[in-house]
């Protein structure tokens, strides 16, 4: 099985991107939705492209209250997500959001400001526990009715910071670990999430809803989760910033798991600054997630301190020397990005590493199946839903096949159920190859070349939504090296091809988030490649 099959689903189509058709599209800066007759009409939104800092200033000077902000975003979700564009990025809104916002306003009036997130509306992915009136289902009908008894650690951190969680985002069901033929962004509970640039294009999984919602200005920032590509891919194809932290920097307790080795939550935002602010709020050592102990002494209180327009100066940036595909438009985009890196004072070093990482894809998949069974059985055993283990989930889906599996099936769930305990030799051998050996190899690449980061195209432009045959992603992808090793990774808007966004990735060694934020910010400020989505009905229209 090829490495990205379990996250971007279908096997890589060698000619997929090279056969994309050029489309005459309107200016991406226009905020429009294509009506059924093909015409465009303007959708005005007074909070378009606002940031945490800009909204915080408007709260402080009385232009807005938190209650007003929440009202505006909830109305935006109703108008764009549920009606005109039918993005399907928000699976559930928080019925208590306005009350929470009012409480934040009272605190502010009484002189208590919790921080820069005080009163700021945030969306989180529907695999993250909230001890409120919202469900936590990973998009699965099988988990319907699961109301968490306790907030996930990162949700507690968000609440402590004063953020207002206004809802949960749709995702690829089970974080895209149900089938090798899935359509990213589809779940049996939430339906198909759409890409806001062209509504027939794929938003990428599994944090599809978070990526679409942030890009479409349904919130300021959102939380996604990643095992391999599920933060950085939807960020890349939706034209936003995503940070996949070092595994251990952000707690996973209270998050429906895939992999204890690779899982992490992380911020998704329209700017590097907002992503840095959100990251600062969710880090911390959690007794319920022992790997976070490794972050002791390595957590930065405020990651915005690394926002430096000159951060690329004097840095050594590695670039894979072999082209990752034959699409001239994408290759030109990378060449232009490399030219910017050099102009900003970085030294670009050609390296040879990606093939060796990709060759371990089957070992990675083996690890994830074992860890998924172990982790999800532990989660479900204490959850409030009707299913108590993976076997129950599989049985539920078979009994309710018409609703739960109308398109693709559940062969990944079934193959995971067949795995044994984590003490099995097959698991430990696969873990050694996928994680331990890859860590050693990648660290040697950094050390021998004296690199500050490795860079490349995050993901090629969005493929078509296809619920029959599944996703067809091309060969451009830089998700796996940082994923299998647990290293940190940031993607920032790099430009567009065919009027579809493409991101640029930087990844580095453990706990170098500050450095990556600096590099991403310097590139962002030198290029300003973020373009608002235009909600076009069809890529070929």
Token pair belonging to 127 = 């695999």
| pLDDT confidence of residue 540 | 85
Q: Tokens 């206004």 — which residue?
A: 166
Tell me how far apart the alpha carbons of residues 68 and 437 are, in angstroms, rounded to a whole number.
Answer: 52
Mean pLDDT, rounded, for 25-53:
59
Q: Please, what is the average pLDDT of the chain?
A: 93
The predicted-structure confidence for 364-397, as pLDDT tens digits, reads as follows 999 999 999 999 999 999 999 999 999 999 999 9
Superfamily classification of domain 5-10+31-527: Amidase signature (AS) domain (3.90.1300.10)
Under 8 Å between Cβ of 243 and 513? yes
**Catalytic residue of the set 156, 182, 206, 534:** 206
Q: Which two tokens stand for residue 448?
A: 């021998």
Q: What angle (nearest 5°) sits at the alpha carbon of residue 472, between those of residues 470 and 478?
A: 125
| Dist. CA 283–CA 280, nearest whole Å | 6
Rounded to 5 degrees, what are φ and ψ at 234?
A: -65, -25
> Can you tell me whether residue 53 is helix, strand or coil?
helix
Residue scoring higher pLDDT (230 or 37): 230
Q: Exposed (0-12), middle (13-18) or buried (19+): which is 240, by Cβ within 10 Å?
A: buried
Q: How many CB atoms lie within 10 A of CB 356?
A: 14
Q: What is the model's pLDDT at position 38?
A: 42
Question: The tokens of 41 are what?
Answer: 């009409």
Per-residue burial over 510-530, b if 16 or more Cβ lie within 10 Å, else e, is bbbbbbbbbbbbbbbbebebb
Percentage, residues of the chain above pLDDT 70: 92
Tokens 């993901």, residue located: 459
Active site residue 125: yes
Q: Judging by beta carbons within 10 Å of its beta carbon (0-12, 13-18, 19+), is residue 23 exposed, middle or buried?
A: middle
Question: Known catalytic residue: 23?
Answer: no
In 10 A of CB 435, how many CB atoms? 21
pLDDT at residue 326, rounded to an integer = 95
Q: What is the Cα Rg of the chain in Å? A: 21
Contacts of 35-43 spanning 24+ positions with Cβ under 8 A: 35/537, 36/537, 38/537, 38/541, 43/79, 43/80, 43/84, 43/535
Q: Is 386 exposed, middle or buried (0-12, 13-18, 19+ CB in 10 A)?
A: middle
- Judged by phi (left if over 0) then psi (alpha if -120 to 50, else beta), residue 9 lies in left
Peptide bond into 530 cis (omega under 30): no
Q: What pLDDT, on a 0 to 100 scale, did the predictor assign at position 4?
A: 41
90 strand-pairing partners = 169
State pLDDT tens for residues 192-225. Answer: 999 999 999 999 989 999 999 999 999 999 999 9
Identify the three-state secondary structure at position 210. Answer: helix
Please identify which residue in the block is written with the tokens 């590493």: 353
Q: In the prediction, which pLDDT does 5 show?
A: 43
pLDDT at 9: 36
Q: Given a cut of 90, is residue 30 above it in pLDDT?
A: no
pTM of the model: 0.94
pLDDT digits (tens, 9 = 90+) for 241-278: 999 999 999 999 999 999 999 999 999 999 999 999 99
β-pair type (164-169, 90-93): antiparallel
Which residue, among 72, 69, 75, 131, has the nearest Cα to 105 in the 3D structure? 69
**Catalytic entry in 5, 65, 89, 125:** 125
Please say whether the beta carbons of 316 and 450 come within 8 A: yes
Confidence class for position 83, pLDDT limits 50, 70, 90? very high
Q: Give me the pLDDT at residue 43, please.
A: 67
Alpha helix (H) residue ranges in 12-152 = 52-60, 66-76, 97-109
Residue spans of the domains in the chain: they are 5-10+31-527
Taking CA atoms, 59 is separated from 68, 94, 113, 222, 303, in Å, by 10, 21, 11, 20, 23
Nearest to 252 by CA among 283, 280, 218, 220: 283
Q: 186: which strand partners?
A: 192
Q: What is the pLDDT of residue 258?
A: 98
Tell the burial category of 41 from Cβ atoms under 10 Å away from its Cβ (0-12, 13-18, 19+).
Answer: exposed
* Nearest-angstrom CA–CA distance, 213 and 80: 10
How far apart (Å, rounded) are the C-alpha atoms in residues 219 and 214? 6
| Higher pLDDT among residues 125 and 19, named by residue | 125
Asked if 169 and 202 touch (Cβ cutoff 8 Å), the reply is no
Whether residue 227 has pLDDT greater than 50: yes
- Considering the candidates 66, 89, 187, 230, report the single residue annotated as catalytic: 230
What span, in angstroms and rounded, lies between the C-alpha atoms of 489 and 456? 11
Kindly state the average pLDDT of the residues 400-411: 98
């Amino acid at each position: 099985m090829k490495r990205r099959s379990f996250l971007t689903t279908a096997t890589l189509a060698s000619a997929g991107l090279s056969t994309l058709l050029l489309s005459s599209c309107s200016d991406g800066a226009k905020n429009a939705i294509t009506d059924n007759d093909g015409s465009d009409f303007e959708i005005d939104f007074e909070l378009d492209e606002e940031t945490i800092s800009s909204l915080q200033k408007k709260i402080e000077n009385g232009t807005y209250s938190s209650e007003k902000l929440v009202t505006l975003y909830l109305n935006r979700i109703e108008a764009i997500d549920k009606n005109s564009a039918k993005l399907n990025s928000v699976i559930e809104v928080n019925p208590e959001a306005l009350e929470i916002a009012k409480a934040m306003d009272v605190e502010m009036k009484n002189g208590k400001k919790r921080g820069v997130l005080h009163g700021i509306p945030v969306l989180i992915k529907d695999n993250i526990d909230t001890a409120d009136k919202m469900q936590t289902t990973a998009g699965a009908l099988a988990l319907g009715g699961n109301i968490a008894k306790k907030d996930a650690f990162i949700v507690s951190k968000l609440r402590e910071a004063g953020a207002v969680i206004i809802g949960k985002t749709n995702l690829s069901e089970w974080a895209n670990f149900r089938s090798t033929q899935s359509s990213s962004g589809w779940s049996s509970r939430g339906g198909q999430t759409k890409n806001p640039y062209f509504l027939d294009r794929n938003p990428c999984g599994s944090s599809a809803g978070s990526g679409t919602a942030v890009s479409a200005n349904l919130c300021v920032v959102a939380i996604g989760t990643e095992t391999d590509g599920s933060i950085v891919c939807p960020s890349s194809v939706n034209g936003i910033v995503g940070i996949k932290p070092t595994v251990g920097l952000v707690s996973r307790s209270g998050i429906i798991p895939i992999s204890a080795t690779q899982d992490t939550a992380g911020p998704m935002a329209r700017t590097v600054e907002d992503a840095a602010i959100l990251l600062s709020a969710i880090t911390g050592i959690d007794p319920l997630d022992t790997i976070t102990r490794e972050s002791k002494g390595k957590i930065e209180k405020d990651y915005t301190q690394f926002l430096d327009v000159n951060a690329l100066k004097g840095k050594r940036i590695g670039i894979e020397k072999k082209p990752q595909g034959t699409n001239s438009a994408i290759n030109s985009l990378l060449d232009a990005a490399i030219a910017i890196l050099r102009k900003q004072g970085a030294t670009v070093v050609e390296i040879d590493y990606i093939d060796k990482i990709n060759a371990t894809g089957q070992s990675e998949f083996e690890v994830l199946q074992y860890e998924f069974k172990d982790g999800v059985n532990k989660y479900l055993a204490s959850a409030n839903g009707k299913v108590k283990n993976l076997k129950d989930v599989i049985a539920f889906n078979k009994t309710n096949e018409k609703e739960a599996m109308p398109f693709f099936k559940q062969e990944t769930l079934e193959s995971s159920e067949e795995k044994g305990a984590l003490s099995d030799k097959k698991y430990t051998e696969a873990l050694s190859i996928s994680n331990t050996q890859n860590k050693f190899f990648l660290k040697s690449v950094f050390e021998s070349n004296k690199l500050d980061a490795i860079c490349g195209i995050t993901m090629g432009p969005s493929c078509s939504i296809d619920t029959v045959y599944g996703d067809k992603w091309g060969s451009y992808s830089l998700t796996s090296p940082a994923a299998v090793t647990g290293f940190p990774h940031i993607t920032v808007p790099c430009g567009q091809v065919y009027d579809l966004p493409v991101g640029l990735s930087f990844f580095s060694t453990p706990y170098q988030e500050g450095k990556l934020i600096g590099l991403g910010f310097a590139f962002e400020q030198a290029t300003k490649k973020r373009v608002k989505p235009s909600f076009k009905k069809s890529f070929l229209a």
